[in-house]
Amino acid sequence: MALDVLEPQSSDEQLHKVNRALSSGMFVHVRQMLHQMACADVALLLESSPIRTRLVLWQMVDHDQQGEILEELPEDVKDALISQMSAESLAAATAGMDTDDLAYILRSLPDSVYQQVLVSMDSQDRARVEQALSYPDDTAGSLMNTDTVTIRPDVSVDVILRYLRLRGELPEATDTLYVVDKQDVLLGGLAITTLLTCDPNITIKKLMNRELEAIGVDMEDTKVSQLFERHDWISAPVVDDKGKLLGRITIDDVVDVIREDAEHSMLSMAGMEDDVDTFGPVFKSTLRRTLWLTVNLFAALLAASVSNMFEGTLEQFATIAILMTIVPSMGGVAGNQTLALVIRGLALGHISDSNARWLVGKELAIGFLNGLIWALLIYAVVWIWKDDSALALLISGAMLVNLTIAGLAGAAIPLLLKKLNIDPALAGGMALTTITDVVGLFAFLGLATLVLL
Amino acid sequence: MALDVLEPQSSDEQLHKVNRALSSGMFVHVRQMLHQMACADVALLLESSPIRTRLVLWQMVDHDQQGEILEELPEDVKDALISQMSAESLAAATAGMDTDDLAYILRSLPDSVYQQVLVSMDSQDRARVEQALSYPDDTAGSLMNTDTVTIRPDVSVDVILRYLRLRGELPEATDTLYVVDKQDVLLGGLAITTLLTCDPNITIKKLMNRELEAIGVDMEDTKVSQLFERHDWISAPVVDDKGKLLGRITIDDVVDVIREDAEHSMLSMAGMEDDVDTFGPVFKSTLRRTLWLTVNLFAALLAASVSNMFEGTLEQFATIAILMTIVPSMGGVAGNQTLALVIRGLALGHISDSNARWLVGKELAIGFLNGLIWALLIYAVVWIWKDDSALALLISGAMLVNLTIAGLAGAAIPLLLKKLNIDPALAGGMALTTITDVVGLFAFLGLATLVLL
């Protein structure tokens, strides 16, 4: 019988089914469904669920699946789940993990739990992990796994073939065996495809690729990803400064670096951190966005103070003209933060019909909270600067309205555009800025006209 | 002897050396250096060079390297080089190419050249390519290569091992052999690592992975990349709706899709197309950015017309207050386009000390050209709207100054931040907007004060 062909909708449907079962309280059924799903799909489900649902689901996941699922999750989500787990279940979950993921998880644990997990490992694993923990984040060392298969140069292919058959299973994404000397210094590589196609009597020395390029353990992870992209590598050996083989980096970890770097650029341009969790709690999300809005308020005030220098030109009610750019500007920045998150969520396939409504509601709530914070602040600034409490009240009212609308529009616009088959990344920003400009000016100037005239 | 360890600086240094040799006219030397470089590095060098240098370098590249180098280049650069080549040299260069890349190149050729290239192929290659050309862009079919290795279910591992030894070399990134029936319907997969470690007497039927997931030939390429990321695949089979094996997709092509999608989001948010060439010619670059600035002008005018509704509130010289947001807004958008490009260039490793100065000069030139275009337009708009030619002249002067500065700042700020070890993606946007706001307001209000008072 032919194999099933993967349908692009399949993961959306799975998500729907689990959510339906969950909301009708069929927990046994949910547990069964989770058990049958691939770990990567469970990870996607967790990542696409609101924070409370996520914790409920996590309780139902098989314990021996937890480790692999944790490996697939982004940092923010991973941290939240780990903080809910006991030391014993953590130790159990991390048992079969890759060194690099294990090191990451250990780094983020409180000291007492960390020690407990370490104690529960066998001594070889412990040594491996302690080594991995010694490499700084964002270097080749932190991306590396130690599961290399090494061979000696002076044996024949036939010997290697028999050795591999004795050894059994090879580590995932093994495309090259590494040839090393007695001091573990890397001499070359042997593609396993070569092993399959060559004459079994040749010695490794004659066959091995001496041009194999090795990565220094201190290389920046971004550089590593550039090399992988440029040379189409599946895996690459990592060596210390004496050429000693320490481990290997595989393409799946590099893909994560490429994705993270690219997202980092996009989210950073909107003033967001890149490990941010689209489905995390509202208060945390609001706080995370304040830095950029603070910086923008200073920038907007700087612009206003430039206009202020020309007060003579602007004449009567000049103050209104001077202040009128502040509210639209803050709305633009706040809305763009939401927009960048939602566009990323759509690109990663995290947002579907089942959670879109929830997400818009969340962003609206963040917008309103943001509005309250910045209304208070701008009230204080304008009152002190212009000594006019009516004007200060006015601008803070406009700020509240505009930031709330900005949150709503930032989430709703890309979802709407997607439905209409228009590229949200292209049209979203401009549609958003137009809305925040128009609403901001209307609210401020409209209130001013009502109150002051 | 131990292998050389790759230094992160090595490609920068190579670039420097080639540029020095080129500018001192040592063409024979340059040709030699290019010959010794890896194709991927030559591609990087071409991509990071200004348009004229790029064409000179292309003339010096070995003919038998040209195909592989073309495969590595982004579309815009590839198109420019192809348009300079004769049909014969194109046919020669494309001889050993992967089906997917070859199909891309053939698609972009003028009809006469296309026919010539097709005629020069052998009939099997021609059939393969004509098949590949029939799949729409951005689907699994267009990403697919036809270089699969297929086996039958009812033979033993030993037979397969002997077959592979007879066959010789396996295609790149082969991690799985596909098990098919007589009608080429996919039945399962066999990892080549399994082949190495299992008992040679087992039949394939008992050993093969029947859970292997296959990709439908019509699946969107973005969905394909999500599946690869989620399941950490190295390659995946592609089938038609009857389950017949058509080819396979490999991770290196998927990495390109991931990178392109991510860049697309970032560049689109700044209103740029994503296949844009950072080092392309000035006029073409200027034209490509006009669409977004046109849209923004309408948005800014809409905002101004909102202020206009409150003219009574703004009173005397109200017009200036109403118009004063337009110039900063245009500067912000123009500057952000440059910024997004330069940040991407830095992330991809395309910008180094040797071409940074050239790039700043280019962006300054584009800024000035942009300034001229939009100064003329805003002159016309304000003259017609407000019937005041002095005011129109004023605002168009401010526009020219601000867009020129925006081009300069958009290129210089990220380079400067990078030198200071500050993340350009995070700090660049806000620094830029502050500059364009302040310069825009200063230029407009300052000129207004000088002229009107």
Question: B115-151: per-residue pLDDT in tens?
Answer: 777 777 777 677 777 777 788 878 998 888 888 899 9
| CA pair distance A429, A245, nearest whole angstrom | 48
Beta-ladder partners of B97:
none
Nearest-CA distance from B165 to chain A in Å?
4
**Residue B53 has what pLDDT?**
82
Neighbours of A156 (CB within 10 A): 17
In the prediction, which pLDDT does A303 show?
58
Contact A446 B314 (CB under 8 A): no
> Would you state the structure tokens that stand for residue A422, as one six-digit string?
């228009």
Chain A 53-72, residues with CB within 8 Å of chain B CB atoms: 72
Which residues on B lie below 8 Å from A254 (Cβ)? 255
Q: Is the pLDDT of residue A9 over 50?
A: no
What tens digit of pLDDT does each residue of B348-386 get? 777 877 788 888 888 898 889 888 888 998 898 888 877
Q: Give the best-scoring range by mean pLDDT among A268-272, A374-378, B47-51, B156-160.
A: B156-160
pLDDT digits (tens, 9 = 90+) for A229-279: 888 899 999 999 999 999 999 998 898 888 877 777 666 666 565 555 656
- What's the pLDDT score for residue B236? 94
| Residue in the structure block whose two tokens are 């703004």 | B314
Beta-strand pair A186-191/A176-180: antiparallel
Q: Which residues have a Cβ under 8 Å from the Cβ of B259 and sit 6 or more positions away?
A: A229, A258, A262
Question: Average pLDDT for residues B251-255, to the nearest whole number?
Answer: 89
Does residue A453 register a pLDDT over 70?
no
Nearest CA in chain A to B199: A165
Q: Determine the straight-line distance between the first and last CA of chain A, rounded to whole angstroms.
A: 80
Query: What pLDDT score does A284 carry?
Result: 64
Q: Does A276 touch chain B (CB under 8 A)?
A: no
Closest CA to A10 of A40, A35, A31, A30: A40
Which residues in chain A have their CB less than 8 angstroms from residue B258's CB? 255, 258-259, 262
Of the candidates A185, A299, A314, the beta carbon closest to that of B317 is on A314
* Pick from A313, A339, A442: CB nearest B453: A313
B119 touches chain A (CB under 8 A): no
> What's the gap in Å between the CA of A134 and the closest CA on chain B?
20
Of chain A, the percentage scoring pLDDT greater than 70 comes to: 83
**CB < 8 Å from B in window 228-247 of A:** 228-232, 234, 239, 241-243
Q: Most confidently modeled of A110-114, A330-334, B1-5? A: A330-334
Q: Which residues of B are less than 8 Å from A425 in CB distance? A: 264-266, 268-269
- Residue B299 · residue B74 · CB < 8 Å: no
Q: Which residue of A has its CA nearest to B322?
A: A321
Look at residue B8 in the predicted model and tell me its pLDDT. 45
Give the tokens for residue A180: 């090393």
pLDDT at A397: 94
Q: Per-residue pLDDT tens for B72-121?
A: 787 778 888 888 887 777 777 777 677 777 777 777 777 777 777 777 77
Query: What's the confidence (pLDDT) of residue B310?
Result: 54
List chain B residues with CB under 8 Å of A258. Answer: 255, 258-259, 262
Among A8-17, B155-164, B335-344, the least confident range: A8-17
Name chain B contacts of A315, Cβ cutoff 8 Å.
315-317
Distances A172 to A40, A233, A249, B253 between C-alpha atoms, Å: 15, 15, 11, 20
Overall average pLDDT of the A313-337 stretch: 74
Contact A295 B271 (CB under 8 A): no
- Is B299 in Cβ contact with A430 (below 8 Å)? yes
> DSSP assignment of B221-287, as one string?
HHHHHHHHHHHT-SEEEEE-TT-BEEEEEEHHHHHHHHHHHHHHHHHHHTT--TT--TTS-HHHHHH
On chain B, the residues whose CB falls within 8 A of the CB of A321 are: 314, 318, 320-321, 324
Q: How do residues A23-50 score in pLDDT, each as one tens digit?
A: 787 888 888 888 888 888 888 888 877 7
Residues of chain B neighbouring A438 (CB-CB closer than 8 A) = 302-303, 306
Question: Within an 8 Å CB–CB cutoff, is residue A344 touching chain B?
Answer: yes
Question: Which chain A residues touch B295 with a CB distance below 8 Å?
Answer: 430
How far apart, in whole angstroms, are the C-alpha atoms of residue A307 and residue A322? 6
Task: Tell whether B184 is within 8 A of chain A (Cβ).
Answer: no
DSSP structure class, residue B85? S
How far does the CA of residue B30 sit from the closest CA of chain A (Å)? Answer: 21
The pLDDT value recorded for residue B9 is 47
- Mean per-residue pLDDT, B238-258: 90
Size of interface A-B (CB pairs under 8 A): 331
- For residue A321, what are its two tokens? 């003209």
CA B341/CA A203 separation, integer angstroms: 51
Q: Which of residues 148-167 of A touch B (CB under 8 A)?
A: 161, 164-165, 167
Within 8 A of B185 by CB-CB distance, chain A residues are 2
- Which residues are within 8 A (CB) of B32 and not within 5 positions of it... i.e. 6 or more apart? none
Question: Which of A257, A323, A324, A402 should one mutate to test binding to chain B, selecting the residue with the greatest count of B CBs within 10 A?
Answer: A324
State the nearest Cα–Cα gap between A356 and chain B, in angstroms. 19
Q: How far is B87 from chain A (nearest CA, A)?
A: 28
Residues of chain B neighbouring A212 (CB-CB closer than 8 A): 3
| CA angle (B38, B44, B46) in 5-degree steps | 105
Task: Judge whether residue A59 has pLDDT over 70.
Answer: yes
Residue type, A233: W
Q: How confident is the model at residue A8 (pLDDT cuts 50, 70, 90)?
A: very low
State pLDDT tens for residues A172-223: 888 999 999 999 999 999 999 998 888 889 999 999 988 888 999 999 888 8
The pairing of strands B186-191 and A150-151 is unpaired
B220–A contact, CB cutoff 8 A: yes
Residue positions counted in chain B? 453
A16-49 b/e with 16+ CB inside 10 Å = b?
eebbebbeeeeeeebeebbeebbbbbbbbbbbbb
Q: What's the gap in Å between the CA of B119 and the closest CA on chain A?
A: 31
Sorted by where each starts, the structural domains of chain A and their CATH numbers stand as: 10-137 (1.25.60.10), 150-250 (3.10.580.10), 270-452 (1.10.357.20)
Decide if A258 and B255 are in contact by the 8 Å CB cutoff.
yes
Using one digit for the tens of pLDDT, what is the confidence trace for A368-403? 988 888 899 889 888 887 788 888 898 899 989 998
State how far residue B259 is from chain A, nearest Cα, in angstroms.
Answer: 7
Radius of gyration for chain B, computed over Cα atoms and rounded to the nearest angstrom: 28
Residue B160 C-alpha, separation from nearest chain A C-alpha, in angstroms: 10
Query: A220: nearest CA in chain B?
Result: B8
CA distance B255 to B262: 11
Query: What is the secondary structure of A88-149 as a DSSP string?
Result: HHHHHHTTT--HHHHHHHHHTS-HHHHHHHHHTS-HHHHHHHHHHHTSPTTBHHHH-B----
Q: Is the dihedral of CA A241, A247, A251, A252 positive or negative?
A: negative
What pLDDT is attached to residue B413?
92
pLDDT at residue A1 tops 50: no
Least Cα distance to A230 among B137, B288, B72 occurs for B72
Confidence category of residue B71, pLDDT binned at 50, 70, 90: confident
Instruction: Say what the pLDDT of residue B293 is.
Output: 53
B447 to chain A, any CB pair closer than 8 A? The answer is no
Least CB-CB distance to B321: which of A196, A259, A314?
Answer: A314
Complex confidence, ipTM: 0.71
- What's residue B237's pLDDT? 95
> For residue A215, what is the enclosing H or E element?
strand A214-216
Closest CA to A407 of A350, A343, A331, A344: A331
Strand ranges, E, within B373-438: none
pLDDT at A306: 58
Report pLDDT digits (tens) over A63-118. 878 888 887 787 778 888 888 887 777 777 777 677 777 777 777 777 777 777 77
Instruction: Quote the CA–CA distance of A309 and A288 in Å, as a whole number.
Output: 34
pLDDT per position as a tens digit, B399-434: 899 989 999 999 999 999 888 888 777 677 778 888
Instruction: Write the pLDDT tens digit of every residue in B204-232.
Output: 999 998 888 899 999 988 889 888 988 88
Asked if B3's CB is within 8 angstroms of A213's CB, the reply is: yes
Query: Residue A269: which of B44, B425, B452 has the nearest Cβ?
Result: B425
Position B351 scores a pLDDT of: 80
